[in-house]
Homo-oligomer: A and B are copies of this chain.
């Protein structure tokens, strides 16, 4: 088996479990830091390991443009490329095509777009996006979907959802025919003694309409994937709407498959999604906020640029055991940020990732003890 998932404990709707991939085991619920171009901005891989990061997300769109799929394939796939010998997930590229690129043209076939780097013209279809994801070789890959714009009418959202469902079928078809082309197929198959491929997850769409979310969930599950993502959220809608959409979807996803809400969230939101039965999440927030001096602590958010910290000799978070909180004062972190030092971005990113990892460890432990999660 290339991929398997077991739920080991539940508390209300929340679940603790683990999934196995060709590059290792992941305990859930899990938060996946984003390493857009095969690098978590500012944090070396050995520090990510020390912080307990289990799985990273890479962006297919970015790696497809630079250094290119064939280069990553020649270098053994994303795990060897960045020497992260642990699981990696790639998104399908759909979200970035719709949010970053220019002059796109959407057809039944796929989406034509211009690179945000050099304006060159490209086409992502379910087939070409999957070919890219197979060439990059992440352990978990995503079906190619249309991320519906917001706001959108019910009719327009249904149309988009139907397209995503047809693309999901085509994604699966392409994957089944080409899954042995993953760069590490032979090596991992030899090592594991059974055929090792990637796991292709489906993506539920349906915009901000609960009925469409439910229909998308049911029909995506009919196609049958080893895991399901809820996509097209956190795109500008209110948090209450996001929660409502997740709440409408999760009960219709099979309990024995992992559930992944894409692109979320704050620590508080993470707790809420986990309490709804979500197993996987990813977000640029911890690293992006860190680079802007916004730090997450057990006592709430800290805006490290504030003058009140100029002579504050206390650690950023006295309850945090990360290398930043063990070594530096708020005064020093404030100084680094105010001085525009590179080290500010590095240390702040290390701390925020550590905070998320500690949060997830705490949630897993609570669920295993059968405790209710405090969703505030």
Q: Does A342 lie within 8 Å of B42, measured CB to CB? A: yes
The interface stretch among A3-11, A176-184, A263-271, A323-331 is: A323-331
Interface string of A309-333 (1 = CB under 8 A from B): 0110100000000010001110110
Interface string of A153-192 (1 = CB under 8 A from B): 0000000000000000000000000000000000000000
**Interchain nearest-CB distance for A310 vs B (Å):** 6
Contacts A42-B343, A71-B310, A343-B43: A328 and B83 contacting too (C-beta < 8 A)?
Answer: yes
User: A74's contact among B311, B327, B336, by CB below 8 Å, is which?
Assistant: B311
Inter-chain contacts of A42 with B (CB < 8 A)? 342-343, 346
- Size category of the binding interface on chain A: 35 or more
Within 8 Å of chain B (Cβ to Cβ): is A303? no
Within 8 Å of chain B (Cβ to Cβ): is A341? yes
- A212→B136 CA distance, assembly (Å): 64
**Interchain nearest-CB distance for A120 vs B (Å):** 16
Contacts A67-B335, A346-B346: A327 and B83 contacting too (C-beta < 8 A)?
Answer: yes
Within 8 Å of chain B (Cβ to Cβ): is A339? yes
Interface string of A335-349 (1 = CB under 8 A from B): 110110111011100
Q: Does A310 lie within 8 Å of B342, measured CB to CB? A: no
Quick one: which of A249-289 are within 8 Å of B by CB? none
Q: Does B37 lie within 8 Å of A323, measured CB to CB? A: no
**Interchain nearest-CB distance for A348 vs B (Å):** 11
Inter-chain contacts of A46 with B (CB < 8 A)? 323, 327
**Interchain nearest-CB distance for A158 vs B (Å):** 38
Interface string of A201-236 (1 = CB under 8 A from B): 000000000000000000000000000000000000
User: A346's contact among B71, B328, B341, B342, by CB below 8 Å, is which?
Assistant: B342
Q: What residue in chain B is nearest A76 (Cβ atoms)?
A: B313
**Interchain nearest-CB distance for A291 vs B (Å):** 8
**Interchain nearest-CB distance for A192 vs B (Å):** 24
- A191→B45 CA distance, assembly (Å): 39
Q: Does A332 lie within 8 Å of B41, measured CB to CB? A: no
Q: Does B311 lie within 8 Å of A41, measured CB to CB? A: no
Inter-chain contacts of A71 with B (CB < 8 A)? 310-311, 331
Within 8 Å of chain B (Cβ to Cβ): is A112? no
Q: What residue in chain B is nearest A350 (Cβ atoms)?
A: B44
Q: Does B41 lie within 8 Å of A335, measured CB to CB? A: no
- A55→B315 CA distance, assembly (Å): 24
Inter-chain contacts of A339 with B (CB < 8 A)? 37, 39, 66
Q: Does A343 lie within 8 Å of B81, measured CB to CB? A: no
- A67→B307 CA distance, assembly (Å): 11
Q: Does A44 lie within 8 Å of B335, measured CB to CB? A: no
Q: Does A335 lie within 8 Å of B83, measured CB to CB? A: no
Quick one: which of A54-84 are within 8 Å of B by CB? 66-67, 71, 74-75, 81-83
Contacts A44-B347, A346-B346: A335 and B38 contacting too (C-beta < 8 A)?
Answer: yes
Q: A38-B335, A42-B342, A67-B310 are in contact. List 16 more A-B contacts (CB 8 A).
A: A37-B335, A37-B336, A42-B346, A43-B343, A44-B323, A44-B346, A45-B327, A46-B323, A46-B327, A66-B339, A67-B331, A74-B311, A75-B311, A75-B313, A81-B335, A346-B346
24 A-B pairs with CB atoms under 8 Å apart are A37-B336, A38-B335, A39-B339, A40-B343, A42-B343, A42-B346, A44-B323, A44-B347, A45-B327, A46-B323, A66-B338, A66-B339, A67-B310, A67-B331, A71-B310, A71-B331, A74-B311, A75-B329, A81-B329, A82-B328, A82-B332, A83-B328, A83-B329, A342-B346
